[in-house]
Structure 1
């Protein structure tokens, strides 16, 4: 028998149908960490990889992040055998005289992030992690938290971290400057866009940080805060609105839209469903909330996301440092344990007693003006056409935010060599080159609008080259229209969806004029030039570029783009293999009328909310 990497996943084989299954899943995820606790228990170091912050902060990350799951476990009445380990770690990590001291916070610091989990734990479990400490350890812990909270936190979801620390300090009877708490609560309200949506700071980003951070922490606050009824009501009202939209980022099998940064946190993406339960907020019927939560965990239980010792890897569908952020240390993936928040609820809570209901998957496209998306539910997949977002601060920001389309089933790819134009994947993108080696793709938009189910963007890959792009859903397909105005000749490559590639070249590939189709054992992916100007190619992408599978094939269209104005029209499809896919493949949509698209945007277009902040590099 050969080794199956998925079997190292601590969730592998767990049916994840009941509360007991979820509790077992959490314990199985935590137990592989035990050998890596330091002698003084304050540090957890999992491998030799590094993040941009110092090693002590990374070790604190490994120590603190499991608390997002362990704290609800104990709050729900379950036994946990290692609270003495955490008490010892808290005492030693905050003792300046101990060799495992975490180091003092003196400015915006990664430690601020990790201290939020400690504040959350102090608020829910003071009898386990505060009261048993000797007085010196209490004094050190309180002093450490109070010192850290006086500095400016990053101008985004980080502001909630001070608030969570403050909830813990308050519960433990520690005096602190409450004006700082109120200041950040007010500033967080400034990120609210409406209809339940936030942005993650004053940036053109509306991503998974909205469900697994802004709403996640807001719902925790709504459950645990005292004497703040007005804000609690607002947080609950916003979350109830948001749930009706964010359910469309999840497919019928539990996969979620692979989009944006920090995807190594994996099932933290499902934290919104657990947070609704924790806050006793039936934003959707309990059966639907539970179904979203459980399916999401089950989806992840089948992926090879752990190393051979059961420690979660940096990556998404498999270990992958290429897609990681510069702030991902080996302990970072354990933010995934935020998904286990419902374990704080008793077994008779309606969330746990409800029968799972299937996902709501409307046949019509769903427009989401705030993130600038039009969502299509197709078989086993969510497809999101996208315009209006950008991220210049993170590695592979264009791939994570500025592709034309994102998917739960097929993920997206990051490039591994930006000086290899002919070898690039370009899934969901149009790559342009003026020298055959280097290339440009959409990174940002100068204009981003939505009209009904149609998206429009204007973008400039070079200062003297302008591209206008329309994105239109068409059943199982979607259509892209690009009007390119350039003073010099370019070469263009446009990609469809990346699908998993089989060994021994067992996939069936079709390449020809104006069309490329890839058929694997599990999926079909196609791209068609509706104007017949380009040649089709089934590109065998470089390994470890796609987030979900390590080896992929991407159908592409390639061709010359002369100086002047050129209009390209493209139809793209990907579906699970089978008769339904073959039927859809034969129903290529017709080329749209460009004049009609122009008129639609001119008469009905409204600006995508995500673009309304003037983010600068």
Structure 2
């Protein structure tokens, strides 16, 4: 694929990342092919890889171009993902995934659910009835899993939201508990605690704020108290996106703080989603977000060792750094980095893809004028 602009660069990067996972799963060979860099996570790694990857790809397959070469690619990968869902949820498939053993399945079933919420036409309406039935069973099996008292509450809530999208019976209590508990965990200036305490990490972006936004976007109208949360949640999200954009250095690096740093570009899922949904603060131009994220993308994905010789992601932040993998990290976990590609769901004519703009820190450290930053009050 010839690359002539940032959108083409992003698309090539996403498909390069996706190919080993989706092609292996479509052939019923994901369990056979996925690397086992961490041996004791084999029961979880396949669902991690597939669900996290398609959560990032979903806006592109849902609202990508309807003409030209990119349309043909979108149709190809949409079909691959639907075949992947079929194989992942069919108990007779060699790639049937683990939705019920251990605690981890609730996490990655939620990322699969988030993909359905982000692409309801392609990943719900277009499923064959048997595949949809198997998918619903897989989602519901996770109700036997007990989430931790942390961001995990949102995993249960996201699964129920997907069941609502699929026109199945869904549990409003699991959603209500997650939403109201996170309201209790809000700490100020656009940041939530991950449970009762604040953690200086990126879970506000890996999970909390993207899921809060999308859950309320889809079910907020069903309850007056949920509906009343939306404005506050979006204002907080707007502030956190400002903080995220300002954290990107002139060189395309960012602070290496907290756990799960091997999720790489997943650090900026929230900023990417705010750009996708046209919810950036007035101080942020869409093009400056694109340019900042492209700089980070190039810094990380072009580092030797990011992929192994067969094209699978390897544990690390910038290259292969296995020491950065916590005990719960496997090859599959790493595919949360695909969530940075959410803006590919924007039209190629969108302002996000137009022109070159310096991001805030690049302006600041070049002696250029930038707006003063300040905390959001009263949120």
TM-score range normalised by the length of the shorter chain: 0.7 to 0.9
1:120 counterpart = 2:114: yes
1:30 counterpart = 2:26: no
- The number of residues matched between the two structures is 352
Q: Among 76, 80, 83, which residue is 1:81 paired with? A: 76
Query: Whose Rg is larger?
Result: 1
The 5 A counterparts of 1:383-532 are: none
What CA distance in whole angstroms lies between the structure 2 residues aligned with 1:34 and 1:26? 12
User: Contact 2:191–2:204 (CA<8 Å) still a contact in 1?
Assistant: yes
User: Contact 1:52–1:327 (CA<8 Å) still a contact in 2?
Assistant: no
If the length of structure 2 is used for normalisation, what is the TM-score?
0.82
Partner of 2:136: 142
If the length of structure 1 is used for normalisation, what is the TM-score?
0.52
Instruction: Give, in angstroms, the shift of residue 62 of structure 1.
Output: 2.2
Higher-helix-fraction structure: 2
User: Contact 1:222–1:236 (CA<8 Å) still a contact in 2?
Assistant: no
Instruction: Give, in angstroms, the shift of residue 186 of structure 1.
Output: 1.0
1:110 counterpart = 2:97: no
RMSD: 2.9
Partner of 2:299: 299
- Sort the Cα spacing of 1:245 and 1:84 in 2 relative to 1 into closer, same or farther, 3 A: closer
Stretch of structure 1 that moved more, 81-90 or 232-241: 81-90
The 5 A counterparts of 1:282-431 are: 282-283=280-281, 284-286=283-285, 287-304=287-304, 305-353=306-354, 355-360=356-361
What CA distance in whole angstroms lies between the structure 2 residues aligned with 1:167 and 1:354? 37
What CA distance in whole angstroms lies between the structure 1 residues aligned with 2:366 and 2:350? 33
Partner of 2:255: 257
- Sort the Cα spacing of 1:35 and 1:159 in 2 relative to 1 into closer, same or farther, 3 A: same
Instruction: Give, in angstroms, the shift of residue 226 of structure 1.
Output: 4.3
Stretch of structure 1 that moved more, 348-357 or 113-122: 348-357
Partner of 2:163: 169
- Sort the Cα spacing of 1:229 and 1:351 in 2 relative to 1 into closer, same or farther, 3 A: farther
Partner of 1:280: 278
What CA distance in whole angstroms lies between the structure 2 residues aligned with 1:150 and 1:262? 26
What CA distance in whole angstroms lies between the structure 2 residues aligned with 1:21 and 1:213? 26
Higher-strand-fraction structure: 1
User: Contact 1:122–1:169 (CA<8 Å) still a contact in 2?
Assistant: no
- Sort the Cα spacing of 1:103 and 1:197 in 2 relative to 1 into closer, same or farther, 3 A: closer
Instruction: Give, in angstroms, the shift of residue 210 of structure 1.
Output: 1.9
Question: 1:488-544, CA deviations, whole angstroms, 9 ceiling, x for partnerless residues?
Answer: xxxxxxxxxxxxxxxxxxxxxxxxxxxxxxxxxxxxxxxxxxxxxxxxxxxxxxxxx
Instruction: Give, in angstroms, the shift of residue 255 of structure 1.
Output: 0.8
Instruction: Give, in angstroms, the shift of residue 325 of structure 1.
Output: 0.7
User: Contact 1:268–1:339 (CA<8 Å) still a contact in 2?
Assistant: yes
Question: 1:568-594, CA deviations, whole angstroms, 9 ceiling, x for partnerless residues?
Answer: xxxxxxxxxxxxxxxxxxxxxxxxxxx
Instruction: Give, in angstroms, the shift of residue 217 of structure 1.
Output: 2.4
User: Contact 2:52–2:335 (CA<8 Å) still a contact in 1?
Assistant: yes
Question: 1:185-206, CA deviations, whole angstroms, 9 ceiling, x for partnerless residues?
Answer: 1112222101111222234512
1:62 counterpart = 2:57: no
Gaps of 5+ in 2: 65-70, 368-379
User: Contact 1:275–1:342 (CA<8 Å) still a contact in 2?
Assistant: yes
Question: 1:246-269, CA deviations, whole angstroms, 9 ceiling, x for partnerless residues?
Answer: 334221121111111111111112
1:49 counterpart = 2:44: no
User: Contact 2:299–2:318 (CA<8 Å) still a contact in 1?
Assistant: no
Instruction: Give, in angstroms, the shift of residue 44 of structure 1.
Output: 7.0
1:20 counterpart = 2:20: no
Partner of 2:67: none
What CA distance in whole angstroms lies between the structure 2 residues aligned with 1:100 and 1:299? 34
Instruction: Give, in angstroms, the shift of residue 38 of structure 1.
Output: 6.7
